[in-house]
Amino acid sequence: MSFSEILQFLHPSTPNHILSTALQLLLELEENYFKNLSNNEIYLFFQKITQFFSSSPTISSSNLILLLSILINLTAIQTSQFSPLLINSKQIILKLTKFLEEEKEGEYSTLTAQLFVNISRQFPQQFVDKLNCYDDGFGSKLIGFLVVNLSTVKSFAVLIATNKLDSFSSLLSFGETSLVKSSALQVIYNLSLQDESHALMLSKDLQANKLLVALLSPLVDREDKLSEEEIENLPVDLQYWEKKRNWDLKLWELTLCTFCATRLGRSFFRNANIYPLLREMDNARILKQGEDNLKNGIILEENGKNLDILRALISILIRREDEMGIEEVEDKLESIRELGI
C-alpha cells in the first residue's frame, strides 16, 4: 500500500480498527522512507493528522499513542520539514501541552515530552518563541514539570529540603493557579518519600510549622466542630478557620501519611495536635458519602487495592509510639506499609 493510499484512512470518521492498521503501517516505515517524501506529501500528512488534535478529537487512546509515536519518528529526522509545521500549529502544540498538564504520569505525557525534545533540539529558539506566543505561562509550567521530576533525585531533594522548602510551602499555600499548587505538592510528596529528607524538613520549628500549615489548610473547614482547647492547640494560622474544605485531597493525605514513615514524622504530627482536624474531616466524609462507602484504616489490601488513606493516618496518630509494634532500637521505617496497620 502506498503512502498516499494510507493517508486516505487518516480521518476521524474512520473506524478505529482500520485507523489502527493505517497508523501501524506508518509507524513501521523506515526513516529513509520518510526522508524521501516530498514537501507536498509531508504537508498533506500534516493536514490529515491535524484533524485528530481538535478540541474534541474522536480517536481511541491506543490510536493516539500510535499517532504520537509516528510524530516522534518524524521529528527525529534532522532534514524533515515536519517539525516546523508542528511548531507553527497552535492547535496541536496547545493540545500536546495539555497532555503534559493533565496526564503527568501517563503515556501521553511521556510521548509528548519525547516529541518536544526532538523539536526543541532542532529548532530551540522557534520552539520557545511559539510556546510563549501560544501560552505565556507555559515556560513556568515546563520548569514546574522539570522540578517535580528532579525532586525524585536524592541530591536535588536534599537541596530543596535544605534551602528552598519555605518557597515551596508558600507556593503550596498561595500559588496563583491550581497547577502551581499541584506541582509544589508533588515536589513535597516526592521529598516525603525520602526518609533522609524528614529531618531536614521538620527540624527547624518555623520552617516546619509553615509546611504543616500549607499541608493542612485544604483539609480544614469552618464548620469543623472543635473544642476551645483543640483550637488553641492548633498552629495559629489554622485557628478560627473561615474557609471551606477542598475535597480533592488524595495526594495531600498521602503526603501526610508518607511523613509518618519515620519516627520523627510521626512525633511531629502528634505534637502538632492535628488529630482533631483529621477526625472532623472523617466525620464530614461520613455525612457526605455514608459510612458504608468508606474503608478501614489501612493502606493496602492483599491484592494491592488502595483503601482509605485518611483513616490509616488517623490510626497512626492516635497511637503512642510504643503501640506501633516497632522495636525500640529502630529509628525509622522504610515504608508506612511496614506498619501493619
Supply the pLDDT for residue 198: 94
* pLDDT bracket for residue 299 (50, 70, 90): very low
* pLDDT bracket for residue 91 (50, 70, 90): confident
Say what the pTM is. 0.62
Q: Is the pLDDT of residue 66 over 90?
A: yes
Q: Is the pLDDT of residue 22 over 90?
A: yes
Q: Read off the pLDDT of residues 305-338 as tens digits, 9 standing for 90 and up.
A: 344 788 888 888 888 777 666 554 445 444 554 5
What are the Cα distances from residue 291, in Å, to 253, 285, 327?
19, 8, 34
**Helix axis angle, 178-192 relative to 138-150, nearest 10°?**
10
All cell numbers assigned to 195: 526518609
Supply the pLDDT for residue 297: 47
* φ and ψ at residue 62, rounded to 5 degrees: -65, -40
Q: Read off the pLDDT of residues 125-171 as tens digits, 9 standing for 90 and up.
A: 888 788 778 766 666 666 777 788 788 889 999 999 999 999 999 99
Q: Read off the pLDDT of residues 266-294 as tens digits, 9 standing for 90 and up.
A: 999 999 999 999 999 888 888 876 655 55
Q: Read off the pLDDT of residues 104-121 as tens digits, 9 standing for 90 and up.
A: 556 787 788 888 888 888
Q: Read off the pLDDT of residues 206-260 as tens digits, 9 standing for 90 and up.
A: 999 999 999 999 999 888 898 899 999 888 888 888 888 887 888 899 999 999 9
Distance CA 189, CA 99 (A): 21
| Backbone CA torsion sign across 65, 69, 74, 78 | positive
Q: Is the pLDDT of residue 298 over 50?
A: no
Supply the pLDDT for residue 159: 92
> What's at 187, amino acid-wise?
V
Supply the pLDDT for residue 82: 86
